Amino acid sequence: MHPALGRIRQETLGTPYEGDLYLVGGAVRDELLGFPHNTDFDLVTRQSAPDLARFLYERGASEIAPVTYERFGTAMVRVEGIDVELVTARKESYDEHSRKPNVEPATYEEDASRRDFTVNTLMRGVHDGDLKDPLGKGQDDLQARVLRTPLDPAATFHDDPLRMLRAVRFRWKLHFQPAPGLYESIRATRERLRIISLERVRDELLKMLALPDADHALRDLMELGLLDIFAPEFRPMVGCTQGSYHHLDVWDHSLLVLRNAGPADPILALAALLHDVGKPATRFVDDEGNVRFFGHESVGAEMTRELLRRLKLPQREVDLVATLVRNHMRLGSSPEFTAAAARRLVRDLDGEVERLLQLVEADANGLKAGVRVLDLAPIRARLEDVRLATPRETLESPLSGQEIMELRQLPPGREVGRLKQVLTEMVLDGTLAPDDKEGAKAALERI
């Protein structure tokens, strides 16, 4: 037993909670599946969960004052460094246009019925360790690896539409098969997802992108019509053909690049998924029949910003993903990757060069077999040479704006900025050393 659960067990022995306190949900499910230890602890009781939270705090078991939600019968404590959710067994009813339920105390069977999937209704007694299957379906579905809702799926998804996204995520996290009718109910109920806050949608999307099979999850979201609800930018990518270098349309290619990029880095995963989002808007066929997408990286960067802002990602993360999308074609735009090009990349990407290289590699590996791809080895070598010779912070004009104003007797304004940019470009081209103030003064006289 985890130390947090052990402490709660010890503190509640000889109280009304003894024998009436159960671990429920993902931690029980993952234990039975043999997954690594899950410390996402949810405890359910027919007693008052807020009262239990206060009791644990008074006994010194909780390291924080409990966070309680009396209306919903829930509370959160922190025991042995682990956040533990406490819930009063309850049944819920919902208004048509709200995700906030009306709550009443309930039996364990009624509480299980309002949960998302049968495999998440299994309960483990905190005091005796006994396994409880209140609906009599959870263990069978777990063994059969079937994802099923406790009630009719239309009712379950109507009550909490976010469960439609969770169904897709759990399918590919657990590698379960959807029960008959589950996906059909999602298609029929998908419009109700609009009542869910975009922050909650974003969180589910990011959890999916963290899965090794994120590409399969995103394919399901597209086929079920869920992406159309919160990210309609993706739909035009389906069926958008790309010409001789590609064997896939833009959507399938993007999913392949997402798989190539891997799930470890959410910024890279988002960039992989969105790197070609601007292609449908820029597609045209030239007189020779070649498919072109001129400027798709710039258009895609702006579309990325709009989408990620809508999903309420932090602005810094929005900027990082948009920067990668805008620059993903940059390494293949010239026949030779010169030292000057390397300096400009280091300056412009500001610490994100490695992510860009990973994105470019994932993209190149998504091309049709036999197509010559960009060789990143000499590019990496050139970048390393530049990093050692001229760190990013030195890739600026040797003269400050104030120094330029004094030397040229200029007031603050655009001309000062223009002159400083000329000196910066000379540094990037390698014709002026980053610390060569005298050389910069001489160059300023010639400008």
Give the pLDDT confidence score for residue 438 in this predicted structure. 84
Closest of 121, 31, 43, 24 to residue 84, by C-alpha: 43
pTM above threshold 0.85:
no
Residue that has been written with the tokens 């609009």 in this structure: 194
The H or E element spanning position 89 is none
CA distances from 416 to 409, 435, 445 (A): 10, 19, 14
Q: Does residue 110 contact residue 135 with C-beta atoms inside 8 Å? A: no
Cα 395 from Cα 410, distance rounded (Å): 24
Q: Does residue 132 contact residue 154 with C-beta atoms inside 8 Å? A: no
Q: Does residue 407 contact residue 399 with C-beta atoms inside 8 Å? A: yes
Domain 3-146 class in CATH: alpha beta
CA 31 to chain centre: 25
Cα 366 from Cα 309, distance rounded (Å): 28
Instruction: List the structure tokens of 142.
Output: 């777990």
Cα 72 from Cα 93, distance rounded (Å): 12
CA distances from 442 to 99, 289, 407, 418, 447 (A): 68, 52, 11, 16, 9
Give the pLDDT confidence score for residue 97 in this predicted structure. 58
Q: Does residue 227 contact residue 187 with C-beta atoms inside 8 Å? A: no
Closest of 277, 261, 146 to residue 215, by C-alpha: 261
Give the pLDDT confidence score for residue 72 in this predicted structure. 81
Q: Does residue 4 contact residue 39 with C-beta atoms inside 8 Å? A: yes
pLDDT tens, N- to C-terminus, the chain (447 residues): 899 999 999 999 999 999 999 999 999 999 999 988 888 899 999 999 999 999 999 999 999 998 888 878 899 999 999 999 999 998 765 555 555 656 677 899 999 998 999 999 999 999 999 999 999 999 999 999 999 999 999 999 998 999 999 999 999 999 999 999 999 999 999 999 999 999 999 999 999 999 999 999 999 999 999 999 999 999 999 999 988 778 889 999 999 999 999 888 999 999 999 999 999 999 999 888 888 999 999 999 999 999 999 999 999 999 999 999 999 998 876 667 888 888 888 888 878 899 999 999 999 888 766 666 778 888 988 888 877 777 666 678 888 889 888 888 889 888 888 888 888 878 877 778 878 888 888 888 788
Strands 82-88 and 123-125, by their bridges, are unpaired
Closest of 277, 276, 295 to residue 232, by C-alpha: 277
Residue 413 — left, alpha, or beta (φ > 0 → left; ψ -120 to 50 → alpha)? left
Parts of the chain belonging to CATH 3.30.460.10: 3-146
Q: Is 83 helix (H, G, I), strand (E, B) or coil?
A: strand
Give the pLDDT confidence score for residue 213 in this predicted structure. 96
Give the pLDDT confidence score for residue 71 in this predicted structure. 79
What single string gives the DSSP state of each residue in 153-194?
HHHHHHH-THHHHHHHHHHHHHTPEEPTTHHHHHHHHGGGGG
